Amino acid sequence: MTAMVATAMQWSESLIWRRVWGLSLASWAFVIAGMSSFIGLLWDGAWHASWGRDTFFIPPHDMMYGGISLSMGMAIAVLITSSRRPRERDFIQIGPMQAPLGIWISLVGMVLMFGSAVYDDWWHNTIGHVEGDIVLWSPPHFVGLVGSLGTLGGAVLFVLREVPIPTRADGKPIWIWQQFDVPALGLLLTFSYLAFMLAAITMDRWVIYDKLRFDGSLYPLLALLTGPGLLIVAQRITNRAGAATFAVALGFVLSAAVAFLVRDLFGFPKAASLPIMGLVSALALDVAFKKFGGGYKWLVVGGPIFVLIFYVTEYLWAWYLTRYPWWPLEKTLVMIPAGIVIGTASLVVGAWIAGRIDRAGFIKHIPYRDA
Protein backbone atom coordinates (compact mmCIF):
# COMPACT_ATOMS: atom_id res chain seq x y z
CA MET A 1 0.00 0.00 0.00
CA THR A 2 2.81 2.38 0.91
CA ALA A 3 4.53 1.59 -2.37
CA MET A 4 1.35 2.35 -4.31
CA VAL A 5 0.98 5.71 -2.57
CA ALA A 6 4.61 6.55 -3.27
CA THR A 7 4.20 5.60 -6.91
CA ALA A 8 1.06 7.71 -7.20
CA MET A 9 2.84 10.69 -5.65
CA GLN A 10 5.76 10.36 -8.04
CA TRP A 11 3.43 10.12 -11.01
CA SER A 12 1.50 13.19 -9.83
CA GLU A 13 4.70 15.17 -9.38
CA SER A 14 5.97 14.28 -12.83
CA LEU A 15 2.60 15.24 -14.32
CA ILE A 16 2.32 18.60 -12.54
CA TRP A 17 5.80 19.72 -13.54
CA ARG A 18 5.71 18.24 -17.05
CA ARG A 19 6.51 20.86 -19.69
CA VAL A 20 4.00 21.37 -22.49
CA TRP A 21 4.80 24.08 -25.06
CA GLY A 22 7.44 25.50 -22.76
CA LEU A 23 5.39 25.77 -19.56
CA SER A 24 4.60 23.28 -16.83
CA LEU A 25 1.07 21.92 -16.63
CA ALA A 26 0.79 23.76 -13.31
CA SER A 27 1.36 27.07 -15.10
CA TRP A 28 -1.11 26.18 -17.85
CA ALA A 29 -3.69 25.39 -15.18
CA PHE A 30 -3.40 28.97 -13.91
CA VAL A 31 -3.66 30.36 -17.45
CA ILE A 32 -6.74 28.28 -18.32
CA ALA A 33 -8.39 28.89 -14.95
CA GLY A 34 -7.84 32.63 -15.33
CA MET A 35 -9.50 32.65 -18.74
CA SER A 36 -12.46 30.67 -17.39
CA SER A 37 -12.88 33.05 -14.45
CA PHE A 38 -12.43 36.10 -16.70
CA ILE A 39 -15.21 35.04 -19.07
CA GLY A 40 -17.37 33.86 -16.18
CA LEU A 41 -17.12 37.27 -14.49
CA LEU A 42 -18.21 39.07 -17.67
CA TRP A 43 -21.08 36.63 -18.10
CA ASP A 44 -21.99 37.05 -14.44
CA GLY A 45 -22.14 40.83 -14.82
CA ALA A 46 -24.54 40.49 -17.73
CA TRP A 47 -26.63 37.92 -15.84
CA HIS A 48 -27.05 40.11 -12.75
CA ALA A 49 -27.68 43.26 -14.79
CA SER A 50 -30.31 41.49 -16.87
CA TRP A 51 -32.05 39.13 -14.45
CA GLY A 52 -30.91 40.14 -10.97
CA ARG A 53 -29.54 37.63 -8.52
CA ASP A 54 -30.76 34.06 -8.96
CA THR A 55 -29.42 31.17 -6.91
CA PHE A 56 -25.71 30.94 -6.20
CA PHE A 57 -25.29 28.03 -8.63
CA ILE A 58 -26.02 29.92 -11.83
CA PRO A 59 -23.96 29.04 -14.94
CA PRO A 60 -21.61 32.06 -14.79
CA HIS A 61 -20.88 31.37 -11.11
CA ASP A 62 -20.18 27.75 -11.99
CA MET A 63 -17.76 28.87 -14.68
CA MET A 64 -15.98 31.32 -12.37
CA TYR A 65 -15.66 28.97 -9.44
CA GLY A 66 -14.76 26.08 -11.71
CA GLY A 67 -11.71 28.09 -12.74
CA ILE A 68 -10.95 28.99 -9.14
CA SER A 69 -11.27 25.33 -8.12
CA LEU A 70 -8.84 24.30 -10.86
CA SER A 71 -6.34 26.88 -9.59
CA MET A 72 -6.82 25.81 -5.99
CA GLY A 73 -6.37 22.13 -6.81
CA MET A 74 -3.21 22.78 -8.79
CA ALA A 75 -1.76 25.12 -6.16
CA ILE A 76 -2.30 22.48 -3.46
CA ALA A 77 -0.72 19.86 -5.69
CA VAL A 78 2.32 22.09 -6.27
CA LEU A 79 2.57 22.71 -2.51
CA ILE A 80 2.47 18.99 -1.71
CA THR A 81 4.92 17.93 -4.40
CA SER A 82 7.29 20.80 -3.63
CA SER A 83 7.29 19.90 0.04
CA ARG A 84 8.36 16.33 -0.79
CA ARG A 85 11.55 17.62 -2.39
CA PRO A 86 14.76 18.44 -0.54
CA ARG A 87 14.83 22.01 0.77
CA GLU A 88 15.29 24.49 -2.08
CA ARG A 89 16.66 27.99 -1.53
CA ASP A 90 14.28 29.66 -3.98
CA PHE A 91 11.20 28.17 -2.28
CA ILE A 92 9.45 29.74 0.71
CA GLN A 93 9.35 27.41 3.71
CA ILE A 94 6.55 27.54 6.27
CA GLY A 95 6.96 24.76 8.81
CA PRO A 96 7.39 21.45 6.99
CA MET A 97 5.91 22.85 3.78
CA GLN A 98 7.67 24.66 0.95
CA ALA A 99 6.58 26.10 -2.39
CA PRO A 100 7.36 28.98 -4.76
CA LEU A 101 6.28 32.36 -3.39
CA GLY A 102 3.62 32.71 -6.09
CA ILE A 103 1.88 29.56 -4.87
CA TRP A 104 1.67 30.83 -1.28
CA ILE A 105 0.25 34.15 -2.46
CA SER A 106 -2.26 32.44 -4.74
CA LEU A 107 -3.41 30.10 -1.98
CA VAL A 108 -4.17 33.02 0.33
CA GLY A 109 -6.06 34.74 -2.50
CA MET A 110 -8.12 31.64 -3.26
CA VAL A 111 -9.02 31.14 0.40
CA LEU A 112 -10.36 34.71 0.36
CA MET A 113 -12.34 34.03 -2.83
CA PHE A 114 -13.96 30.86 -1.52
CA GLY A 115 -14.68 32.58 1.78
CA SER A 116 -16.26 35.49 -0.08
CA ALA A 117 -18.56 33.04 -1.91
CA VAL A 118 -20.00 31.80 1.38
CA TYR A 119 -20.15 35.36 2.69
CA ASP A 120 -21.88 36.53 -0.50
CA ASP A 121 -24.57 33.87 -0.26
CA TRP A 122 -25.22 34.81 3.36
CA TRP A 123 -25.21 38.52 2.47
CA HIS A 124 -27.84 38.24 -0.24
CA ASN A 125 -30.05 35.89 1.75
CA THR A 126 -29.84 37.95 4.95
CA ILE A 127 -29.20 41.58 4.00
CA GLY A 128 -30.15 41.76 0.35
CA HIS A 129 -28.71 44.34 -2.04
CA VAL A 130 -27.10 47.71 -1.51
CA GLU A 131 -29.55 50.42 -2.58
CA GLY A 132 -31.41 47.87 -4.67
CA ASP A 133 -28.47 47.29 -7.02
CA ILE A 134 -26.02 44.41 -7.32
CA VAL A 135 -22.65 46.09 -6.96
CA LEU A 136 -19.08 44.89 -7.09
CA TRP A 137 -18.24 46.85 -3.96
CA SER A 138 -20.60 45.07 -1.62
CA PRO A 139 -18.44 43.67 1.22
CA PRO A 140 -18.45 40.03 0.02
CA HIS A 141 -17.78 41.01 -3.60
CA PHE A 142 -14.92 43.27 -2.55
CA VAL A 143 -13.33 40.51 -0.48
CA GLY A 144 -13.56 38.22 -3.50
CA LEU A 145 -12.01 40.80 -5.80
CA VAL A 146 -9.12 41.37 -3.41
CA GLY A 147 -8.65 37.59 -3.26
CA SER A 148 -8.60 37.46 -7.05
CA LEU A 149 -5.82 40.05 -7.14
CA GLY A 150 -3.76 37.90 -4.80
CA THR A 151 -4.46 34.77 -6.83
CA LEU A 152 -3.53 36.41 -10.12
CA GLY A 153 -0.52 38.20 -8.68
CA GLY A 154 0.77 34.89 -7.39
CA ALA A 155 0.04 33.26 -10.75
CA VAL A 156 2.13 35.92 -12.51
CA LEU A 157 5.09 35.24 -10.21
CA PHE A 158 4.72 31.47 -10.65
CA VAL A 159 4.52 31.57 -14.46
CA LEU A 160 7.33 34.14 -14.61
CA ARG A 161 9.73 31.59 -13.08
CA GLU A 162 9.38 29.42 -16.20
CA VAL A 163 9.48 32.05 -18.96
CA PRO A 164 12.88 33.09 -20.36
CA ILE A 165 12.95 36.86 -20.95
CA PRO A 166 14.89 37.98 -24.07
CA THR A 167 17.28 40.81 -23.21
CA ARG A 168 19.34 42.96 -25.57
CA ALA A 169 22.98 43.70 -24.83
CA ASP A 170 22.23 47.44 -24.93
CA GLY A 171 19.47 47.04 -22.32
CA LYS A 172 16.71 48.25 -24.65
CA PRO A 173 13.43 46.28 -24.84
CA ILE A 174 12.26 44.27 -27.82
CA TRP A 175 8.92 44.57 -29.58
CA ILE A 176 6.24 42.22 -28.36
CA TRP A 177 6.21 40.18 -31.56
CA GLN A 178 9.97 39.49 -31.56
CA GLN A 179 10.84 35.99 -30.36
CA PHE A 180 7.22 35.67 -29.27
CA ASP A 181 6.48 32.12 -28.21
CA VAL A 182 3.83 30.19 -26.32
CA PRO A 183 5.37 30.69 -22.84
CA ALA A 184 5.43 34.45 -23.46
CA LEU A 185 1.74 34.27 -24.40
CA GLY A 186 0.93 32.45 -21.15
CA LEU A 187 2.72 35.11 -19.11
CA LEU A 188 1.02 37.99 -20.93
CA LEU A 189 -2.39 36.36 -20.46
CA THR A 190 -1.90 36.22 -16.69
CA PHE A 191 -0.88 39.90 -16.70
CA SER A 192 -4.03 40.68 -18.71
CA TYR A 193 -6.30 38.92 -16.21
CA LEU A 194 -4.72 40.94 -13.41
CA ALA A 195 -5.21 44.19 -15.36
CA PHE A 196 -8.87 43.37 -15.92
CA MET A 197 -9.50 42.65 -12.24
CA LEU A 198 -7.93 45.96 -11.27
CA ALA A 199 -10.24 47.63 -13.78
CA ALA A 200 -13.20 45.79 -12.26
CA ILE A 201 -12.40 47.13 -8.80
CA THR A 202 -11.87 50.58 -10.28
CA MET A 203 -15.17 50.73 -12.08
CA ASP A 204 -17.37 49.32 -9.31
CA ARG A 205 -20.91 49.63 -10.62
CA TRP A 206 -19.69 51.13 -13.91
CA VAL A 207 -18.61 47.65 -14.98
CA ILE A 208 -22.21 46.51 -14.81
CA TYR A 209 -24.30 49.67 -15.29
CA ASP A 210 -22.97 52.00 -17.96
CA LYS A 211 -25.46 54.69 -16.91
CA LEU A 212 -23.34 55.34 -13.82
CA ARG A 213 -20.43 56.33 -16.08
CA PHE A 214 -21.95 59.80 -16.04
CA ASP A 215 -19.75 60.85 -13.08
CA GLY A 216 -16.07 61.12 -14.02
CA SER A 217 -14.69 62.52 -10.78
CA LEU A 218 -13.84 59.31 -8.90
CA TYR A 219 -13.32 56.27 -11.10
CA PRO A 220 -10.51 57.82 -13.23
CA LEU A 221 -8.54 58.42 -10.02
CA LEU A 222 -9.07 54.80 -8.95
CA ALA A 223 -7.96 53.61 -12.38
CA LEU A 224 -4.82 55.79 -12.23
CA LEU A 225 -3.96 54.57 -8.74
CA THR A 226 -3.02 51.06 -9.86
CA GLY A 227 -3.44 50.75 -13.64
CA PRO A 228 -0.32 52.61 -14.87
CA GLY A 229 1.87 50.83 -12.35
CA LEU A 230 0.68 47.40 -13.47
CA LEU A 231 1.27 48.26 -17.14
CA ILE A 232 4.82 49.37 -16.37
CA VAL A 233 5.42 46.12 -14.49
CA ALA A 234 4.09 44.15 -17.48
CA GLN A 235 6.46 46.00 -19.82
CA ARG A 236 9.57 45.69 -17.71
CA ILE A 237 9.08 42.16 -16.46
CA THR A 238 8.55 40.83 -19.98
CA ASN A 239 10.99 43.37 -21.53
CA ARG A 240 8.52 43.72 -24.40
CA ALA A 241 7.22 47.00 -25.78
CA GLY A 242 3.60 46.16 -26.50
CA ALA A 243 2.95 44.22 -23.30
CA ALA A 244 0.91 47.10 -21.85
CA THR A 245 -1.26 47.37 -24.96
CA PHE A 246 -1.80 43.59 -25.02
CA ALA A 247 -2.86 43.58 -21.36
CA VAL A 248 -5.50 46.26 -21.95
CA ALA A 249 -6.64 45.04 -25.37
CA LEU A 250 -7.51 41.53 -24.18
CA GLY A 251 -10.11 42.96 -21.80
CA PHE A 252 -11.75 44.82 -24.67
CA VAL A 253 -11.75 41.81 -26.97
CA LEU A 254 -13.24 39.41 -24.43
CA SER A 255 -15.74 41.96 -23.12
CA ALA A 256 -16.97 42.66 -26.63
CA ALA A 257 -17.13 38.94 -27.46
CA VAL A 258 -19.10 38.07 -24.32
CA ALA A 259 -21.41 41.05 -24.86
CA PHE A 260 -22.13 39.88 -28.40
CA LEU A 261 -22.85 36.33 -27.23
CA VAL A 262 -25.15 37.17 -24.35
CA ARG A 263 -27.07 39.98 -26.06
CA ASP A 264 -27.23 38.97 -29.70
CA LEU A 265 -27.30 35.19 -29.36
CA PHE A 266 -28.77 34.51 -25.90
CA GLY A 267 -31.15 37.50 -25.70
CA PHE A 268 -29.85 39.16 -22.52
CA PRO A 269 -31.23 42.72 -22.17
CA LYS A 270 -27.89 44.00 -20.80
CA ALA A 271 -24.22 43.14 -20.89
CA ALA A 272 -21.35 44.28 -18.69
CA SER A 273 -20.04 47.68 -19.72
CA LEU A 274 -16.85 47.72 -21.76
CA PRO A 275 -13.62 48.50 -19.83
CA ILE A 276 -12.09 51.92 -19.34
CA MET A 277 -10.40 53.33 -22.42
CA GLY A 278 -6.77 52.73 -21.50
CA LEU A 279 -5.74 51.50 -24.94
CA VAL A 280 -4.34 54.79 -26.26
CA SER A 281 -2.38 55.53 -23.09
CA ALA A 282 -1.04 51.95 -23.02
CA LEU A 283 0.08 52.27 -26.63
CA ALA A 284 1.83 55.56 -25.81
CA LEU A 285 3.57 53.89 -22.87
CA ASP A 286 4.77 51.07 -25.11
CA VAL A 287 6.16 53.44 -27.74
CA ALA A 288 7.97 55.43 -25.05
CA PHE A 289 9.31 52.24 -23.47
CA LYS A 290 10.74 51.08 -26.79
CA LYS A 291 12.41 54.45 -27.33
CA PHE A 292 13.73 55.19 -23.84
CA GLY A 293 13.95 51.76 -22.21
CA GLY A 294 14.14 51.44 -18.43
CA GLY A 295 14.77 54.23 -15.98
CA TYR A 296 12.58 56.72 -14.19
CA LYS A 297 13.17 60.08 -15.89
CA TRP A 298 10.90 59.54 -18.86
CA LEU A 299 8.17 58.26 -16.54
CA VAL A 300 8.23 61.46 -14.48
CA VAL A 301 8.34 63.71 -17.56
CA GLY A 302 5.85 61.72 -19.61
CA GLY A 303 3.52 60.74 -16.78
CA PRO A 304 1.33 63.87 -17.00
CA ILE A 305 1.03 63.39 -20.77
CA PHE A 306 -0.10 59.78 -20.40
CA VAL A 307 -2.64 60.81 -17.75
CA LEU A 308 -4.10 63.57 -19.93
CA ILE A 309 -4.36 61.15 -22.85
CA PHE A 310 -6.27 58.79 -20.57
CA TYR A 311 -8.69 61.51 -19.46
CA VAL A 312 -9.42 62.64 -23.01
CA THR A 313 -9.91 59.17 -24.45
CA GLU A 314 -11.97 57.91 -21.50
CA TYR A 315 -14.22 60.98 -21.70
CA LEU A 316 -14.82 60.38 -25.40
CA TRP A 317 -15.41 56.68 -24.71
CA ALA A 318 -17.88 57.47 -21.93
CA TRP A 319 -19.63 59.91 -24.26
CA TYR A 320 -19.88 57.20 -26.92
CA LEU A 321 -21.38 54.76 -24.40
CA THR A 322 -23.77 57.13 -22.63
CA ARG A 323 -24.09 60.30 -24.76
CA TYR A 324 -24.14 62.25 -21.52
CA PRO A 325 -20.90 61.75 -19.57
CA TRP A 326 -19.18 63.47 -16.67
CA TRP A 327 -21.74 66.13 -15.89
CA PRO A 328 -21.09 68.64 -14.47
CA LEU A 329 -17.73 68.54 -16.20
CA GLU A 330 -16.23 70.93 -13.65
CA LYS A 331 -16.14 68.13 -11.07
CA THR A 332 -13.78 66.16 -13.28
CA LEU A 333 -11.62 69.15 -14.27
CA VAL A 334 -10.97 69.95 -10.63
CA MET A 335 -9.77 66.38 -10.05
CA ILE A 336 -7.40 66.19 -13.05
CA PRO A 337 -4.36 67.65 -11.17
CA ALA A 338 -4.81 64.95 -8.54
CA GLY A 339 -5.07 62.40 -11.34
CA ILE A 340 -1.76 63.60 -12.82
CA VAL A 341 0.01 63.20 -9.48
CA ILE A 342 -1.56 59.80 -8.77
CA GLY A 343 -0.96 58.43 -12.28
CA THR A 344 2.68 59.58 -12.44
CA ALA A 345 3.36 58.18 -8.97
CA SER A 346 1.81 54.88 -10.05
CA LEU A 347 4.18 54.68 -13.02
CA VAL A 348 7.21 55.28 -10.80
CA VAL A 349 6.07 52.75 -8.19
CA GLY A 350 5.44 50.20 -10.94
CA ALA A 351 9.01 50.65 -12.23
CA TRP A 352 10.31 50.20 -8.67
CA ILE A 353 8.28 47.00 -8.18
CA ALA A 354 9.54 45.59 -11.48
CA GLY A 355 13.10 46.29 -10.40
CA ARG A 356 12.54 44.53 -7.09
CA ILE A 357 11.07 41.49 -8.84
CA ASP A 358 14.10 41.34 -11.13
CA ARG A 359 16.60 41.65 -8.25
CA ALA A 360 14.73 38.97 -6.31
CA GLY A 361 15.66 36.50 -9.04
CA PHE A 362 12.21 35.83 -10.50
CA ILE A 363 13.33 36.73 -14.02
CA LYS A 364 15.46 34.42 -16.14
CA HIS A 365 17.21 36.59 -18.75
CA ILE A 366 18.46 35.13 -22.01
CA PRO A 367 20.46 36.98 -24.72
CA TYR A 368 18.33 38.32 -27.55
CA ARG A 369 19.50 37.57 -31.06
CA ASP A 370 17.93 39.12 -34.13
CA ALA A 371 16.67 36.57 -36.64
> Are the C-beta atoms of residues 349 and 300 closer than 8 Å to each other?
no
- In order along its 371 residues, the chain shows pLDDT tens digits of 555 555 555 656 777 888 889 999 999 999 999 999 889 888 887 887 777 666 667 888 889 889 889 999 999 999 998 888 888 888 899 989 999 999 999 999 999 988 888 887 787 777 765 544 445 667 887 888 889 899 999 999 999 999 999 999 888 899 999 989 999 999 999 999 998 888 777 765 544 455 567 888 888 998 899 999 999 999 999 999 999 999 999 999 998 899 899 888 888 888 777 788 899 999 999 999 999 998 899 999 999 999 999 999 999 998 888 888 888 899 999 999 999 999 999 999 999 999 999 998 899 999 987 75
Q: Please give the CATH superfamily to which domain 169-371 belongs.
A: Ammonia/particulate methane monooxygenase, subunit A (1.20.1450.10)
Q: Can you give the pTM of this predicted structure?
A: 0.89
